[in-house]
Amino acid sequence: MWNLKSAEGSVWQLGLAAVTIALVTGCGGGSSGGGGGAGDDQEQASVEGIWRGTFTEEGIGMFDAQGLFYDGRVFAISEDAGVIYDGEYSVTGDRVEAEVRAYQINGWYFADAALEGTVTTSDSMSLEFETSLDTKGSVSLEYDTQYDQPSDTDMIEGMWHYDEPGYEAIVEIDASGVFYAYDGVGCVYSGEALSLNPDKNLYSVDMTVELCGDLDGDYTGFAALLEEPGMGEILQIVVSNQDAIVFRPLQPVP
């Protein structure tokens, strides 16, 4: 399922498939912010939630984008581009700024990116970015109302699996959110997934990897229950540490 790879290694030359914000969680709606440049009348926007859209990188092309913003941390994913981002963001008024590290999905770190733009709460987000590979572009996202669905550990309880050619993993989650997973290459994963807000579709994830060589260690991130075209219900998980990052859409075991 996880099939992690070290974040150390050669730079992956894709040109930073922008900041495909696939799962980005917003800074508690940017609730800090008193005073911005417009004084007391300035309304503080929120970027918290799940977002979907596209990003365009000049000279490279257009790619799908998903994003999750929550409490100052952002995950961004583009499956078409094979890129995932992990970083931090802030919101002042309707202005959004973010600094992220780019990795090949389940692979190596290859670039940094800085983004800035504007957000309309629970509606749309427009960003521009520059990368450490001297590329630049734009991101256009719309709010995904699946984030407004409820969450509870009993909703993710059960057996889940991930399969791709030559690789398989099984995950078992109990009613309290404690999980155990193993894959076909001998790695073992354990941890806990907990609802962050019963009215929002988001779970915090703490995970420990063992028997996996250099990939052993502790990871943190998020999960969400989503309906995906062609896949049905999935439990999408993204976790990372300083060395590696992993993104997996898990499907229920029939």
Longest CA–CA span in the chain (Å) reads 58
Q: Is 148 helix (H, G, I), strand (E, B) or coil?
A: helix
Those residues whose C-beta lies under 8 Å from the C-beta of residue 102, and which sit 6 or more positions away, are 16, 17, 19, 83, 84, 85, 109, 110, 111, 112, 113, 131
What local confidence, expressed as pLDDT, does residue 10 receive?
25
Three-state SS across 52-79?
Answer: EEEEEECCCEEEEEEEEEECCEEEEEEC
What local confidence, expressed as pLDDT, does residue 15 receive?
28
Q: Which of 116, 145, 174 is the last residue of a domain?
A: 145
Q: Residue 4 falls within a domain, yes or no? A: no
Q: Is 174 helix (H, G, I), strand (E, B) or coil?
A: coil
What local confidence, expressed as pLDDT, does residue 228 receive?
87
What local confidence, expressed as pLDDT, does residue 42 receive?
64
For residue 87, the cross-strand partners are 74, 100
What local confidence, expressed as pLDDT, does residue 32 receive?
34
Domain ranges, residue 171: 147-252
* E strand or H helix at 136: strand 136-143
Residues 31 and 139 in one domain: yes
What local confidence, expressed as pLDDT, does residue 236 receive?
94
Those residues whose C-beta lies under 8 Å from the C-beta of residue 162, and which sit 6 or more positions away, are 1, 168, 169, 171, 248, 249, 250, 251
Those residues whose C-beta lies under 8 Å from the C-beta of residue 229, and which sit 6 or more positions away, are none
DSSP 106: T
DSSP 157: -
In which residue ranges of the chain is pLDDT below 50?
A: 1-40
Residues 74 and 116 in one domain: yes
What local confidence, expressed as pLDDT, does residue 214 receive?
80
Q: Residue 62 falls within a domain, yes or no? A: yes
What local confidence, expressed as pLDDT, does residue 138 receive?
97
Phi, psi of 17 (to 5 degrees): -50, 75
What local confidence, expressed as pLDDT, does residue 154 receive?
96
What local confidence, expressed as pLDDT, does residue 244 receive?
81
What local confidence, expressed as pLDDT, does residue 41 receive?
60
Residues 152 and 108 in one domain: no
Residues 123 and 49 in one domain: yes
Q: Which two tokens stand for residue 118?
A: 């504007």
Q: Please state, in angstroms and rounded to a whole number, the distance separating the CA atoms of residues 117 and 177.
A: 36
Model pTM? 0.81
Report the CATH number that the domain containing residue 62 is assigned in CATH.
Answer: 2.40.128.380
What local confidence, expressed as pLDDT, does residue 123 receive?
98
Contact 190, 181 (CB under 8 A): yes
Q: Is 84 helix (H, G, I), strand (E, B) or coil?
A: strand
Residues 111 and 163 in one domain: no
